[in-house]
Structure 1
Amino acid sequence: MGQIFSNAWQKVFKYPRINIIVVGLDASGKTTILYKSKFGEVLNSQSLFYSYETVDNRELSIKSWDLGGSDRSISSLYKRFYENVQGIIFVVDSNDRYRIEDAYYELDKILKDNQLNDAVLLVFANKQDLPEAMKPDEIARKFKLYDIQGRNWLVQDSCACMGRGYGISEGFEWLLNEIHKKNERKFG
């Protein structure tokens, strides 16, 4: 697996398998981020309806649904993968102001699911290289994250297409460290 997981990677392996889901609207950069972490490079992809990608080994399972189109009912497919999820990665196109409310709606539905109450949330504010991109604080406000209690969250600025993936390794490291802390408390 790529070097995306750095030092946090070794800490998590003394605990049971970690399950992470990657979700968000179509064209936000989910697949690019996943390929960057899996292969260390950007592969061109486009979802006409939906595609499913995974990074899976003994210790870590990352599931990514890349949903095309605008049918909100398709997000119910995510629920198949909610069991035992410890981390949620929500990818948002920071430049897509037109659909930021749709992105909020999808994230809100995910966060309200009881199976995900204990999951740590990482929001990748992707496409920060674009001139009209919303900054992480603006996205946090639009997603009402400051109102959340009892859930660790971070909005990480990122650009999956730049070099090694600006902000990607920092986001994954934060997420894995937060999961590690929760596992320390849970498993001692």
Structure 2
Amino acid sequence: MGATVSQLWAPKLIIVGFPGFPLSGKTSIAYKLMGKPGPVPRRTGIADIPLHEIFQGNQQFNFCEYSGHEKIRCLWRRFLWNFDAVVFVIDCTDRESLPEVKQDFLNTVLRDCGTSEHPVLVFANKQDCPKAMSVDELIDYLCVQEDLEEDVKKTRPFVGEGLAEGLEWVRQAVRAHPIEHRPSGACTLKLGPLPAADADELHQRKSSIATVSFAAIDVANMAEHPSFTLAGLLAAGGTAGYMRTRSTPSLVAGLGLGVSYAYAGYLLKNNKDYGSELALANSVLLTGSAVPRIIKTGGRAPVPIALGAVGALATYYYQKKFREFRYGV
């Protein structure tokens, strides 16, 4: 009973996008925030999006960790704007990748989230390593001085600020400027240093991490447009069949398959792998329903032939995507 009452008065859940380049220390940071002891488990794929539930007092944060693989980074902008805040992790010891970090941070994270007035917290990670770029150097390198909040510019006591302070800053920024009430044209940005999160172990593993085939998120991006295109074709085909024959089943079949493909595209767009299963089943159904009509007319009916061809191509396409979803090949 007490737990139920306390949930009624609990602050609103804050959902945070958590991107960063590979081996920047995202998972280590999340595990420290969750208070999990022991070594950080090795990631086995680049398309999965771990969800970390983090509590600070009675405030709950859900951190959605996004891979920094080059095939994933181009898709950050499709998702990050939808979060309450963004926490971006930078490995200050990896100077070779900093040009790419700067490009993706300015062009994707800061630009897209800035126009959506999302608070952006940057963790300058591994500050206790001798070769790490300092926070002041990082601010100058990223050219974000004008985007920093005025009070952060004045104080800038970054050394010593840790994870708890960063979470508290995110909480206050989100509460001060809810999405529906945030002023336009203002991007809230803060940078803070962190100690090395298992830096030696991560650098040792860096050369041995295997390249994993990319699947789900890029598939979602690729499959969105074909799905809706097929939906339009099938709905139009069903409507044309009805106008020609006044056959209600043809209208229902066309519109039904169209809606099914649209729904499959929606599922794929939102990274639901069973969308490929639905699309594959629809494709097989479409092909199977067209074949008897083609046989009956001796191959002289253009509409069944066209729908059968579309179904066959869609079957091949979605079978391939289904294999990528399910097996990563």
What's the TM-score, normalizing by structure 1? 0.70
Instruction: Give the deviation of 1:47 after TM superposition.
Output: 4.2
Alignment: residue pair count: 166
Indicate conservation of the 8 Å contact 1:24/1:106, yes or no.
no
Residue 112 (str. 1) matches residue 111 (str. 2): yes
> In the alignment, what sits opposite 2:61?
60
Q: What does the per-residue CA deviation read over 1:100-149, in whole Å, with 9 as the maximum and x for residues that have no partner?
A: 11111111122222686211111111011210111111111111111337
4+ residue stretches of structure 1 with deviation over 6 A? Answer: 149-156
- The counterpart of 2:15, out of the listed 1, 13, 19, is 19
Q: Is 1:178–2:176 an aligned residue pair?
A: no
Within 2, Cα distance between the matches of 1:49 and 1:152? 40
2:24 and 2:90 in contact (8 A); partners too = yes
**Which one has a larger percent helix, Structure 1 or Structure 2?**
2
Larger radius of gyration: 2
Give yes or no for the alignment of 1:101 onto 2:96.
no
Structure that is richer in strand per residue: 1
Partners of 1:123 and 1:156 lie apart in 2 by: 15
* Secondary structure, counterpart of 2:123 in structure 1: strand
Q: What is the Cα deviation at residue 66 of structure 1? A: 2.8
Question: Match for residue 35 of structure 2?
Answer: 39
RMSD value over aligned CA atoms? 3.6
* The 10-residue stretch of structure 1 (175-184 or 25-34) with the greater mean CA deviation from structure 2: 175-184
Relative to 1, partners in 2 of residues 1:156 and 1:60: Cα closer, same or farther, differing over 3 Å?
farther
> Structure 1, residues 76-104: CA drift from partner, whole Å, max 9, x if none?
34345335312111100111111111111
Aligned in 2, Cα 1:115/1:96: closer, same or farther, shift over 3 Å? closer
Q: 1:41, 1:121 → 2: CA distance?
A: 28
In structure 1, what is the Cα distance between the partners aligned to 2:170 and 2:76?
20
Contact 2:20 2:89 (8 Å CA) reproduced: yes
Q: How far did 1:24 drift?
A: 1.1
In 2, are the aligned partners of 1:86 and 1:118 still within 8 Å (CA)?
no
Partner of 1:5: none
Q: 1:157 to 1:93 in 2, by over 3 A?
A: farther
Q: Distance in 2 between matches of 1:94 and 1:55?
A: 23
The answer for unaligned runs of 5 or more in structure 2 is 1-8, 183-329
Of 41-50 and 147-156, deviating more is 147-156
Unaligned runs of 5+ in 1: 1-11, 160-165
Percent identity reads 23
* Contact 1:54/1:61, CA 8 A, preserved across alignment: yes
Letter in 1 for 2:51: T
Q: CA deviation at 1:38?
A: 2.0
> In the alignment, which residue of structure 1 is the partner of 2:121?
122
Q: Counterpart of 2:50 in 1: which secondary structure?
A: strand
